[in-house]
Structure 1
Amino acid sequence: MSEMLLELRGISASYGAIQAVSKVSLQVPRGGIVALLGSNGAGKSSTLNTISHLVDPTHGEVIFDGKAIHRLPSDDIVQLGLVQVPEGREVFKDMSVTENLELGAYLRRNRREMAEDFDKVYAMFPRLKERRDQRASTLSGGEQQMLAIGRALMSRPRMIMFDEPSMGLSPLLVEQIFESIQRLNREQGLTILLVEQDVRLALTVASHAYILENGEISLEGPSSQLINDPAVRKAYLGV
């Protein structure tokens, strides 16, 4: 069994004539937290969308648990245990909290296990339980982020990719969301790939990080090393 749960091998992707990602290679070890960092437009979300096959790769391979998945439909990738919490939360706003969570489990058939997972989500995010019959549009930004994470958990993933989970949230809510991400890793053993604009926060949570510039990996290494790198400190940490 490979130590790496996810590997990108020279992945390239484009939107029409616009090259979004170019020859990106990275690895995420089982049970690890890896950060993918960079400025706006660097190609971070495009990388995640290529992994999930929401965007077709034009070159390279995506390997999940030893299996090439870059030609599989997105729902097959979810069924293998790899899910994405999208940027901007993207909950179904006209549906209730419960209905959103049920959609996360749409590929599953075991009702008893689904009931157990509802309990786990509500234990992690008690506010969702209080609002389970409310429409998602009535939730705060932080509650919608909790719902997006809960929906991902309902698929019983082995790995979750988070796209900008702190976006638009107050510092207190950001702290709560990142505590939840760390708990999922620590207590449930979930492997995490984290895209985040708050570079300092991401480097304190992840053990290893990659930095994207103009769709290409410009730097990688242990987070403890990168947080002290002069170029990183100048470009991303305001030092």
Structure 2
Amino acid sequence: MSEQSTKPLLEVRGVSASYGAIQALSGVSLAVPEGAIVALLGSNGAGKSSTLNVISHLINPTAGEVHFAGEAIHRLPSDEIVRRGLVQVPEGREVFKDMSVRENLELGAFLRRDRAAMADDLDKVFTLFPRLKERAEQRAATLSGGEQQMLAIGRALMSRPRLIMFDEPSMGLSPLLVEQIFEAIQRLNREQGLTILLVEQDVRLALTVASHAYILENGEISLQGASAQLMNDPAVRRAYLGV
């Protein structure tokens, strides 16, 4: 894990959100220090993806604020949020399947104008994920699930983010591929200093890589603390770790 600041890069302050009459989030607050890996955990339907979607402004909050690098961003359009260095790798990968691997990666840099640096960053993605280099001209539809996850991460990296939000990166992958994906996530944090907010179904794995975690239940934060502390919390062990 990279050396981290105590100053939050991302702050969610009392955010609520709903889908029609269904309340998805109620007064959610969390902070992600610069240089940290922070996990957001909970059962299916707890509101984890909704929290990420509010941060990215894919859904509108009904109350509360989101601040990134000291600036309120909850009223900005999603492309402006990406331009400021906050990107999301969505659940289910969502690559452009009829485009090549290279075209998918180049699309991740569509807001940039620094062409020479973009070529540099493409090389960095290929170094992180050599399999993508081997398949650079293949259609994304021909990739395995793990390769598509690598592509989704690579596409996010092409925007030169300061913070990446991962939504269930291990979903549907074999244990070996999960290990490779999480090693890449840790390398991005350790070697490039990227700040990470991680939503992950494998609670034990998430608590292993994150320094701090928040647990959502029914759209509200029910528990938070250092990952080591939560790993030993009896309620967490019963509910999420099968102990």
Indicate whether the TM-score tops 0.5.
Answer: yes
The 1:148/1:182 distance shift into structure 2, 3 A limit, reads same
> 1:56 — aligned with what?
60
What does the per-residue CA deviation read over 1:90-148, in whole Å, with 9 as the maximum and x for residues that have no partner? 10111110110011000001110100000000000000000001110100000000000
> 1:179 — aligned with what?
183
1:231 aligns with 2:235: yes
* Distance in 1 between residues matched to 2:106 and 2:8, nearest whole Å: 30
Which residues in structure 2 correspond to 1:127-206 (within 5 Å)?
127-206=131-210
Aligned residues: 239
* Distance in 2 between residues matched to 1:166 and 1:10, nearest whole Å: 29
Name structure 1 gaps, 5 residues minimum: none
- Runs ≥4 in structure 1, deviation > 3 angstroms? none
Q: Is the 8 A contact 1:2 1:65 kept in 2?
A: no
* Distance in 2 between residues matched to 1:125 and 1:8, nearest whole Å: 32
Query: Secondary structure at 1:147's aligned position in 2?
Result: helix
Q: Is the 8 A contact 1:32 1:185 kept in 2?
A: yes
Report the identity percentage. 83
Query: Secondary structure at 2:62's aligned position in 1?
Result: strand
1:214 aligns with 2:218: yes
Q: Is the 8 A contact 1:2 1:66 kept in 2?
A: no
Amino acid in structure 1 at the alignment position of 2:107: L
Query: Secondary structure at 1:107's aligned position in 2?
Result: coil
Q: TM-score scaled to structure 1, two decimals?
A: 0.99
> 2:40 — aligned with what?
36
Query: Secondary structure at 1:169's aligned position in 2?
Result: coil
What's the CA shift for 1:2? 7.5
Query: Secondary structure at 1:21's aligned position in 2?
Result: strand
What does the per-residue CA deviation read over 1:18-72, in whole Å, with 9 as the maximum and x for residues that have no partner? 1111100000000000000000000000000000000000000000000000000
Query: Secondary structure at 1:201's aligned position in 2?
Result: helix
Q: TM-score scaled to structure 2, two decimals?
A: 0.97
Amino acid in structure 2 at the alignment position of 1:17: A
Query: Secondary structure at 2:201's aligned position in 1?
Result: coil
Q: What is the alpha-carbon root mean square deviation over aligned residues? A: 0.9
> 1:46 — aligned with what?
50
What does the per-residue CA deviation read over 1:217-237, in whole Å, with 9 as the maximum and x for residues that have no partner? 000000000000000000000
Query: Secondary structure at 2:54's aligned position in 1?
Result: helix
Amino acid in structure 1 at the alignment position of 2:226: P
